[in-house]
Amino acid sequence: MTLLAIRLLLLLLLLAFALVAAGIMSNQPRLSDPPGAQERLRIYLTRNVALTTPEPTLPELQPRGYALDPGELYPLAREAVRELGWELESEDPDQQRLHAVITTRWLRFRDDFVVRIVPGDDAASSQVLVRSASRVGRGDLGANVSHVRRFNAALQAQVDQRASIQ
Provide the pLDDT for residue 22. Answer: 58
Model confidence over 51-75: pLDDT tens digits?
Answer: 999 999 999 999 999 999 999 999 9
Q: Which of 109-118, 137-146, 156-165 has the highest mean pLDDT?
A: 109-118
Rounded distance between C-alpha atoms, residue 11 and residue 143, angstroms: 26
Confidence of residue 5 (pLDDT cuts 50, 70, 90): confident
Confidence of residue 159 (pLDDT cuts 50, 70, 90): very high
The arithmetic mean of pLDDT across residues 120-144, rounded, is 91
Pairing relation of β-strands 49-51 and 64-66? unpaired
Crossing angle between the packed helical segments 70-83 and 143-165, to the nearest 10 degrees: 120
We find that the CATH architecture of domain 3-165 is 2-Layer Sandwich (3.30)
